[in-house]
Structure 1
């Protein structure tokens, strides 16, 4: 009977041209109404000050708030209405479900949004190994898969122009797909968040929030909650190691590309060259960070997130870990007969990572950055309902 009432209500709303909320979106709206009456968690993170600016929660508001949430778990552990209370308020889990939905809703091209539901650890590792096998097969046909290469010359195995032809189109597609997705997200949440233009102070504060992972401190500086209510900074530190490790590796690759085209300095580079220093530091940081994230993700309580997204989370973590470890192994194998095989493994992992970036957990960094920017623009405007504090 209840399902029939919901279908009837949605049909009437569609006939009137109104926006119909999905079940996860309706659940977030319900919980935000309860939280708006309570206000106990108002100082915990950006979600609650943003919530106090609203009396009703439409689709754009819900998408905005869901991507502001960092899923630290502090509000769940502090809430007097959390399960098993009849109100069943679980903001981190409700927000996580909508957040996963927004990745698919704003995916570009739209038809590929369904890939978010299929992007799991098994698929990610299988894709990396499959691509590595394909590359290894090509090397074996053309030469030797096991044998020393003069001066550790990668380009004697895969010519530079071939690598550019393989990776440049994928990289450009990743930038385009993520850019189109976040642009659509920005357009839709902008009216819901006052629609004010971005100012330099707002952009600077949002950048600081992203770089410091400000809202993974639980609102009190002690970190996220473990399943037993204990506080820990392990999640914040693992995220920092992963985030900055990825940036260092990307910087090393970008600088090596600049060296190649600007000065004709051909890879591989030796210590103490800057690309090698950046790559080594980034690889170690990325390996440690992803190992920590894997451990934390596997032991997290079921109430602290959306179980349906675990395969996607673990798939992304696995590819980052494989990329970092195979890169470090490639450095160690440079002067050994294992170089060709190790290079194939590393390139397979990198290709799989980039192929899945627009349709995996990487999207959350892009959408959350946009939401934080929107929040820092909004909070500089007068509160339209005059309640709460930013």
Structure 2
């Protein structure tokens, strides 16, 4: 009936006790959305709606489970049950429970106890896997909200467009639907990296060898050839341009060690965190993107956090812009706030709350070296650029230093 909510569990397989996603859906909204997709999206034209909201496949599988429960001598079934229990713990909350007594989401656990008529859906069960790069329709099928008509996805065009450029245009477009969808951002990253791996994997085996397409199979079957590829890291050298891979971090480590050999030990180690909650222009730009006329004074702390959570691309771009401007216009300015910088190295990481921060190494010209210069010279150099003094309450920096630059118990 109108306004009713139905609990739906999205599973990888109906026989699993755990689930991939669990939400309460409005039945009227589902019917309206499906009606729109049937008339506007050609991928849904043959979809029929079950008015009774009964999943016949789920009932049949439940009956099979009850019959198999009576057979205690079936050892394979007991093993599957243990695997299902472990999968249930992982899939229910996407993590293990915090303690043995308290679940991660106690409210959801209470609802699960009193709710029996849960609709189980496993749309991908008994289907064959499809290669992501070979199926040009997967983008529209995975994100019907972003592509309601099923068109304008990455496909063959009159002018050549790479996959990376396509996703960059999607995320940086004035239409912020794609940039606000976290699932689409990770989908774009995965597709871009997968395309790089597939395009370079064949070149990696041929580079530096006399392999051809005819004897490539023979090379892979030869144990000595495989050991040679692994010994000289030729087997995964093609992963070097892809961030996060062992080959990428091996290259970054070599660059850093080369700086240490040429310039010596770094002078400063510094961390710079994103002050996104204090950047008024960032929050104003997000409000303008969403078409809201509110001011920052009218927003609570939770509202600001929600703004940043819904717009991860805008927040990350603002941090990247401010970081490079800060290095160029402040740290490397003629004022030399930390000394004259000869070279620097940094790495950007993302905290659990989603905000980025930088870890940096700076090499300063004329800086004293430990174990070479005296302790007095080192102390004088440190006192020249570093201070632990709290400004007076009349100073404009008092609030910033006490709230940001001071650790509390």
TM-score, normalized by the shorter chain, greater than 0.5: no
Structure showing the higher strand proportion among its residues: 2
What TM-score do the two structures reach when normalised by structure 2? 0.29
What TM-score do the two structures reach when normalised by structure 1? 0.30
- Point out the structure with max Rg over C-alpha: 2
Structure showing the higher helix proportion among its residues: 1
Q: Which has the higher contact order (CA 8 A, sep 6+)?
A: 1
